[in-house]
């Protein structure tokens, strides 16, 4: 018997703010908001979700797990996300690898991939 992927949990200094940022970035909606966790999903019934929980410490090193986004237009999506507060980061990637590494407002790295050929 297998398991169902329910959520990816993200530690955050400000879970509500970061959840709202990711909801806007992904076109998701908040499906649950409590003082100690905020969950977003594409729709209330669609799994998996992202759950943002508070932690007292800040992010210190590169994430060992990250999200890859594949938009229809990589350049436009990178520009949109940067305008929303993401920033370019260098995690040792090579130029022209087909993806751009960004960090969300709390420093969590994610990749914006090129279109599939």
Q: What is the pLDDT of residues 5-64, one digit of tens each?
A: 999 999 999 999 999 999 999 999 999 999 999 999 999 999 999 999 999 888 888 888
Each residue's pLDDT tens digit, 65-115: 999 999 999 999 999 999 999 999 987 777 777 899 999 999 999 999 998
The confidence score (pLDDT) of residue 109 equals 95
The confidence score (pLDDT) of residue 117 equals 76
CA distance 40 to 77: 20
Please provide residue 99's backbone torsions phi and psi, each rounded to the nearest 5 degrees: -140, 155
For residues 100 and 94, the answer to whether their CB atoms sit within 8 Å is no
The model's pTM is 0.91
């Amino acid at each position: 018997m297998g398991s169902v992927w329910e959520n990816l949990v993200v530690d955050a200094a400000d879970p509500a703010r970061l959840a709202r940022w990711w909801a806007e970035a992904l076109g998701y909606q908040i499906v649950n908001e409590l003082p100690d966790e905020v969950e977003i999903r594409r729709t209330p019934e669609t799994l998996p979700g992202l759950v943002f929980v508070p932690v007292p410490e800040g992010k210190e090193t590169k994430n060992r797990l990250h999200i890859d986004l594949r938009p229809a237009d990589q350049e436009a999506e990178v520009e949109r996300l940067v305008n929303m507060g993401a920033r370019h980061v260098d995690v040792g990637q090579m130029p022209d690898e087909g993806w751009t590494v960004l960090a969300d407002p709390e420093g969590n790295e994610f990749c914006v991939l090129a279109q599939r050929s």
